[in-house]
Chain A
Amino acid sequence: MANSYELSDDSVVVVIGSGAGGGTLANELAQKGIDVVCLEAGGRLGLSDIVNDEDEMSGKFLWFDRRIGEGVADPHFPVWTCKTVGGTTMHWTGVALRMQEHEFRTGAVYGGVEGATFLDWPLTLEELEPYYARAESQIGVTGTHGMPFLPESNNYKVMKLGARRLGYKQFSTNNLGINSVERDGRPACQQIGFCTAGCPIGAKWSTAFSEIPSAEASGHFELRTRSMVVRINHDSTGRASGVVYVDGEGVSHEQKARIVCVAGNSVETPRLLLNSESALFPDGLANGSGHVGRHYMRHMAQAVFGLMPGPVNFHRGTQLAGIIRDEQINEPERGFVGGYNMELVQFSMPVLAERLGAGGWGQDYAAVMEQYDHFAGMLIIGEDPPEASNRITLHPTEKDHLGLPVPVVHYDFHENTRAMSEHAAAAGEAVYQAAGAERTFRTGVSASSAHNMGTCRMSERARDGVCNTWGQSHEIDNLFISDGSQMTTGGAENPTLTIVALVIRQAEFMARQMAAGVL
């Protein structure tokens, strides 16, 4: 039974955002008997609202509030995330990978990379492993804890043939948060092929259909939708005291809080802290170090296609059900630090037409598109170096529909990313050539990013970041970063599993501290 808390109730934990971080954290706390108010900026979709129409679903769940991109970021739509209950778990592809041991120690392992701000996490893989296991079990990840891998699709079979012939060893249909068997009240995957438009049968995990309903059933949780948090307030000692939010009717409210957890994804989280500046925090809340908004990381992400001599029909089936992991290692002899994963991908005809060739047109382009059903494809995800100048800031004059400064997303490629991108594209094309492709294509790295991390990063020392090993901000004990913003580095892996593992661990810490009367 869903609860209802008073605005003046300062005993509640306020969680901002209901996605992989916020939704999971809220449920973890609620299951422990801790009262949570979760404020979600977007509306709520049910399974019946999900249709196999990418345009229609984009309209229903993407974050379209104004953002300004600079550098190589798309000027009008620099970031591809969601505004809906469940956050970007409504849109995600389901890829659920653990980061590698060396990716937590990039300061030590990669050495000094000029212009990059690599730093060791205040956390090791070993410490996170039990939480990765919990996260995999909770989500239901194929190839882990007894959940079978998804079966091999046509697109995967092409990739596998190429991988084998090149001598790659580590390939599978991928670790996916998508049921291969009926589990946890959700059906098995039917190879519908519209994962990123939302899974209409709920086979793909989303907090919207798992954690949020579980939290509501706990009796310790209230979800308020269409509630955009615009400011975090603090008391005279600098402790977070509550949050101001604007509801669906445009009315402002202040919800008091015992603890505030920010999980708005990597643009909104730092933006909220910056917008919460005060006399005590002139550079933004918890920003004495100056790192709020900085070290914004994406992934090197590009698609490579092979035009095969026979039909593949790659649209038939789970979009990212395949992976080659051999290149994920750190091997500076290749000309860059960090590694990349080659993940199966399929696109609808409209999406392929737009992404295939930047600015391409004419006889050849049309002839290639007529062979849509002969396409095989992969998406290559690689580690992106953090840079202090890649950051989220507030526009000095432009305001949004609520009168708040519009966020500016500045992102430039590091040389490392350019070198990695070239190597990865060549490797992807080699896979398809080895499989017998007549032609190969590479799309180049996307200007609008779906993987966004690092803007309120963890650090051992307060001067190097925003929060500690628990995601607890260095400056304010009862203010937590609870999304991918806390990631010190991005690794070569899609971020969702790491975000879920981190907040499961964060919830344990928070509960211990609350029980001890410290928080």
Chain B
Amino acid sequence: MSKTGMNRRQFMDTAGRTVAGTALVLSGTSMAAGAAAAARSVDNRVAETLLRMTRLLFPHESISNAVYGEIVASLDKRAGDSADFKSLLEDGVAALDRARADTWLKLDPDDQVAVLGEQEGTAFFKEMRTATVRQLYRHRELWKLGGYEGSSVEYGGYLNRGFDDIDWLPEA
């Protein structure tokens, strides 16, 4: 995997994946259709761009688009509550689209990541990064992926559930 992002094959694999039980229905042609359909404040094109951006900010191959779609939905809700925030998102997407000859969504994944890197200092990038990191790693699917077990008091803590079970450390 290149250090600038997914390669094209990985991108397409991820785009084709669907997850059972999700509220967002994904079409075969656009992985962002679900998120776009739910968007009420920003238009479909902006929602698709934001969805792709959240995934490139913190790419987890085995995490469904539905999870990233939830982040876009909450961004969309904030845009509905604040005209300033809506402009921030729309202007930010416009800046991504101006960075190369083609619109951002049409670019190769490596180029998409490169453009994000160029935008790192912008308020739009910082908002997107903060919103994504906060919401993504509060999601139970990420907890499962990373092995974080969450609330423990109802199980009697970890005193008898592995707080000291490390068995692979060498002797001093």
A190 CB contact (under 8 Å) in B143, B157, B170: B157
Residues of A with C-beta under 8 A to B165: 154, 313
Asked if A349 meets B148 with Cβ closer than 8 Å, knowing A158-B166, A317-B163, A369-B137, the reply is yes
| Contact of B101 with A by CB under 8 A | no
Interface pair A201/B146, CB less than 8 Å apart: no
Interface pair B164/A153, CB less than 8 Å apart: yes
| Contact of B5 with A by CB under 8 A | yes
Identify the closest chain A residue to B148 (Cβ).
A349
B151 CB contact (under 8 Å) in A51, A160, A309, A362: A51
B5 CB contact (under 8 Å) in A363, A369, A436: A363
Identify the closest chain A residue to B136 (Cβ).
A353
A362 to B116: give the CA distance in the assembly, Å. Answer: 10
Taken residue by residue from 1 to 14, chain B's Cβ proximity to chain A (1 for < 8 Å, 0 otherwise) reads as 11111100000000
Interface pair A152/B169, CB less than 8 Å apart: no
A191 CB contact (under 8 Å) in B1, B2, B60, B157: B157
Interface pair A192/B133, CB less than 8 Å apart: no
Residues of A with C-beta under 8 A to B4: 362-363
Taken residue by residue from 47 to 67, chain B's Cβ proximity to chain A (1 for < 8 Å, 0 otherwise) reads as 000000000111110000000
Which residues of A295-319 are within 8 A (CB) of B? 309-313, 315-317
Interface pair A192/B1, CB less than 8 Å apart: no
Interface pair B159/A353, CB less than 8 Å apart: no
> Min CB distance, B81 to chain A, in Å?
19
Identify the closest chain A residue to B1 (Cβ).
A363
A466 to B158: give the CA distance in the assembly, Å. Answer: 46
A349 to B138: give the CA distance in the assembly, Å. Answer: 7
A299 to B59: give the CA distance in the assembly, Å. Answer: 35
| Contact of A331 with B by CB under 8 A | no
| Contact of A53 with B by CB under 8 A | yes
Taken residue by residue from 24 to 60, chain A's Cβ proximity to chain B (1 for < 8 Å, 0 otherwise) reads as 0000000000000000000000000001110100000
Interface pair A52/B138, CB less than 8 Å apart: no
> Min CB distance, A364 to chain B, in Å?
6
Identify the closest chain A residue to B146 (Cβ).
A372
Residues of A with C-beta under 8 A to B156: 190
- Chain A interface residue count, CB cutoff 8 Å, equals 50
Identify the closest chain A residue to B5 (Cβ).
A363
B6 CB contact (under 8 Å) in A165, A316, A353, A363: A363
Taken residue by residue from 128 to 166, chain B's Cβ proximity to chain A (1 for < 8 Å, 0 otherwise) reads as 010001101110001101111111111011110111111
Residues of B with C-beta under 8 A to A436: 169-170
| Contact of B113 with A by CB under 8 A | yes
Identify the closest chain B residue to A54 (Cβ).
B138
| Contact of B172 with A by CB under 8 A | yes
> Min CB distance, B17 to chain A, in Å?
16
> Min CB distance, B71 to chain A, in Å?
13
Identify the closest chain A residue to B157 (Cβ).
A190
Interface pair B163/A366, CB less than 8 Å apart: no
Interface pair B172/A354, CB less than 8 Å apart: no
Interface pair A353/B172, CB less than 8 Å apart: no
> Main secondary structure on chain B at its contact with chain A?
loop
Interface pair A362/B153, CB less than 8 Å apart: no
A348 to B149: give the CA distance in the assembly, Å. Answer: 9
Interface pair A366/B58, CB less than 8 Å apart: yes
> Min CB distance, B124 to chain A, in Å?
14
Identify the closest chain A residue to B129 (Cβ).
A361
Interface pair A366/B153, CB less than 8 Å apart: no
A157 CB contact (under 8 Å) in B143, B149, B151, B164: B164
Asked if A362 meets B147 with Cβ closer than 8 Å, knowing A161-B170, A192-B152, the reply is no
A369 CB contact (under 8 Å) in B3, B58, B158, B170: B58
Identify the closest chain A residue to B59 (Cβ).
A366
Asked if A191 meets B169 with Cβ closer than 8 Å, knowing A154-B164, A349-B148, A353-B136, the reply is no
> Min CB distance, A414 to chain B, in Å?
28
| Contact of B118 with A by CB under 8 A | no
> Min CB distance, A150 to chain B, in Å?
10
Asked if A154 meets B57 with Cβ closer than 8 Å, knowing A317-B158, A363-B4, the reply is no
A160 to B159: give the CA distance in the assembly, Å. Answer: 20
Residues of B with C-beta under 8 A to A145: none
Asked if A362 meets B5 with Cβ closer than 8 Å, knowing A194-B153, A349-B143, A372-B148, the reply is yes
Most buried by A among B5, B6, B134, B163: B163
| Contact of A332 with B by CB under 8 A | no
Identify the closest chain B residue to A373 (Cβ).
B147
A138 to B102: give the CA distance in the assembly, Å. Answer: 69
Interface pair A369/B146, CB less than 8 Å apart: yes
Taken residue by residue from 305 to 343, chain A's Cβ proximity to chain B (1 for < 8 Å, 0 otherwise) reads as 000011111011100000000000000000000000000
Q: Can you show 15 pairs from A to B with CB atoms below 8 A apart?
A: A52-B154, A191-B163, A193-B163, A310-B166, A310-B168, A311-B168, A315-B148, A316-B162, A349-B137, A349-B146, A353-B136, A359-B129, A361-B129, A362-B59, A364-B3
4 closest A-B pairs by CB: A373-B147, A190-B157, A372-B146, A52-B151
B interface list, Cβ under 8 A from A: 1-6, 56-60, 113, 116, 120, 126, 129, 133-134, 136-138, 142-143, 145-154, 156-159, 161-166, 168-170, 172
A interface list, Cβ under 8 A from B: 51-53, 55, 151-154, 157-158, 160-161, 164-165, 189-194, 200-201, 309-313, 315-317, 348-350, 352-354, 359, 361-366, 369-373, 435-436
Given contacts A193-B152, A353-B134, 11 further A-B contacts (CB under 8 A): A154-B162, A154-B163, A191-B157, A194-B153, A353-B136, A359-B120, A361-B116, A361-B133, A363-B3, A366-B60, A369-B58
